[in-house]
């Protein structure tokens, strides 16, 4: 066997350490602040409905000194969305409420719906990253955060708190039935408080949850919601090229860790990869911080079955 010299081993170790240091530097200094707007089209409206522009933001994890993030958020109003959805984890500091409100600025004057996440209620704490691979690890809460002040600021500007509440609104001529739950990550969800089919006259039925836990998504799907929006996962935050997210930080599968997907036969799901990170884990890799502009369009009408000359089955018959 060839003998590897001590100097060669040392050079290899130094090289590996250099690559690791460069990766950490990129993830914490560059990609963490490389904010991007994603765009997607989702067919969820009733046939014949006009398109609706929905801005989905989540997981700001704001601290007062994050000027780059605050400036980028202020520019989102230029998109002129019809509706803004905020799926929680806005705060990471006890004095961050003014920064969040000022950053969202004119977006708060547009129609908006929101629910809160764990880091609206409690400050993040240092955590061993390996614990994210153990879904049953013991969670430790930090100091209480001023979520009541944030809720007051949102609602005073006209946004609707959907925490265990059902609300019907009209936006751009589209009738929307909406409902939400408190954060399932903290076991605070009480779906029974909003259970049941939404308004059948609505053109769109939207459900909100911070963490996309399957037990909650199943209930929204069973009740007939067209679209459910969530955050919490950070898109995995650390991803590998060709593999994707290492963890989801909830019970959802990795294939749905961010972006649009289907949940069951009817319901569409959108999970935001989020805009921030915990101040104790300030890095992203192959998973840029994002907001998403969703263009909601009408579901394509079902095409009539072709006449085969052999009659029409009962399931294909149209009553006249």
Kindly report, residue by residue over 162-201, the tens digit of the pLDDT: 999 999 999 999 999 999 999 999 999 999 999 999 999 9
Q: Which residues contact 320 (CB under 8 A, 6 or more apart)?
A: none
Q: In what order do the strands lie in the sheet with 36-45?
A: 36-45, 290-298, 52-57, 83-86, 112-114, 160-161
Q: What is the pLDDT of residue 305?
A: 53
CA–centroid distance for 277 within its chain? 13
CB < 8 Å & 24+ apart, contacts of 135-138: 135/250, 135/251
3-state SS record for the chain: CCCCCHHHHHHHHHHHHHHHHHHHHHHHHHHHHCCEEEEEEEEEECCCCCCEEEEEECCCCECCCCHHHHHHHHHHHHHCCCEEEECCCCECCCCCHHHHHHHHHHHHHCCEEECCCHHHHECCCCCCHHHHHCCCCCCCCCCECCHHHHHHHHHHCCCEECECEEEEEEECCEEEEEEECCCHHHCCCCHHHCCCCCCCCCCEEEEECCCCCHHHHHHHHHCCCCEEEECCCHHHCEEECCCEECCCCCCCCHHHCCEEEEECCCEEEEECCCCCCCCCCCCCECCCCEEEEEEEEECCCCCCCCCCCCCCCHHHCCCC
Bridge partner residues of 114 (DSSP): 86, 161
- Indicate the pTM of the whole model: 0.87
Task: Please tell me the distance from the alpha carbon of residue 276 to that of residue 119, in angstroms, as a whole number.
Answer: 11
Task: Please tell me the distance from the alpha carbon of residue 225 to that of residue 227, in angstroms, as a whole number.
Answer: 6
Task: Please tell me the distance from the alpha carbon of residue 194 to that of residue 208, in angstroms, as a whole number.
Answer: 11
Task: Please tell me the distance from the alpha carbon of residue 18 to that of residue 12, in angstroms, as a whole number.
Answer: 10
Q: What is the pLDDT of residue 224?
A: 98
Q: What is the pLDDT of residue 128?
A: 73
Is the Cβ–Cβ distance between 86 and 103 less than 8 Å? Answer: no
Which stretches of the chain score pLDDT less than 50?
9, 12-21, 307-320
Bridge partner residues of 206 (DSSP): 178, 227
Bridge partner residues of 293 (DSSP): 39, 55
Q: What is the pLDDT of residue 15?
A: 46
Q: What is the pLDDT of residue 311?
A: 36
The two beta strands, 204-208 and 174-180, are parallel
Phi, psi at 161, each rounded to 5°? -80, 120
- Encoding tokens for residue 231? 């955050």
How many C-beta atoms lie closer than 10 Å to residue 293's C-beta? 17
């Amino acid at each position: 066997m060839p003998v590897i010299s001590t100097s060669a081993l040392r050079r290899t170790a130094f090289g590996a350490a250099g690559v690791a240091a460069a990766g950490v530097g990129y993830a914490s200094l560059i990609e963490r602040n490389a904010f991007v707007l994603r765009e997607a089209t989702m067919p969820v409206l009733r046939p014949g409905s006009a398109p609706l522009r929905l801005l989905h933001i989540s997981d700001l994890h704001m601290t007062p000194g994050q000027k780059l993030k605050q400036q980028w958020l202020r520019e989102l109003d230029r998109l002129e969305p019809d509706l803004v959805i905020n799926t929680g984890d806005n705060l990471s500091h006890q004095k961050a409420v003014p920064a969040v409100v000022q950053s969202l600025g004119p977006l708060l004057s547009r129609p908006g719906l929101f629910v809160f996440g764990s880091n609206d209620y409690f400050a993040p704490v240092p955590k061993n990253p390996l614990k994210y691979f153990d879904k049953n690890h013991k969670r430790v809460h930090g100091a209480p955060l001023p979520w009541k002040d944030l809720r007051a600021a949102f609602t005073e500007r006209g946004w609707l708190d959907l925490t265990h509440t059902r609300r019907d609104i009209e936006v751009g001529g589209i009738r929307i039935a909406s409902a939400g739950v408190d954060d399932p990550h903290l076991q605070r969800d009480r779906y029974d408080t909003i259970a049941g089919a939404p308004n059948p006259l609505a053109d769109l039925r939207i459900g909100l949850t911070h963490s996309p836990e399957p037990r909650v998504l199943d209930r929204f799907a069973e009740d007939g919601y067209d679209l459910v929006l969530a955050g919490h996962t950070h898109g995995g935050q650390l991803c590998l090229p060709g593999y994707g997210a290492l963890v989801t930080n909830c019970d959802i599968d990795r294939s749905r860790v961010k972006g649009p997907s289907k949940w069951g036969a009817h319901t569409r799901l959108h999970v935001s990869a989020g805009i921030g990170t915990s101040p104790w884990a300030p890095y992203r890799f192959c998973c840029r911080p994002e907001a998403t502009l969703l263009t909601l369009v009408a579901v394509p009408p079902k095409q009539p079955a072709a006449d085969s000359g052999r009659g029409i089955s009962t399931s294909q018959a149209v009553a006249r």
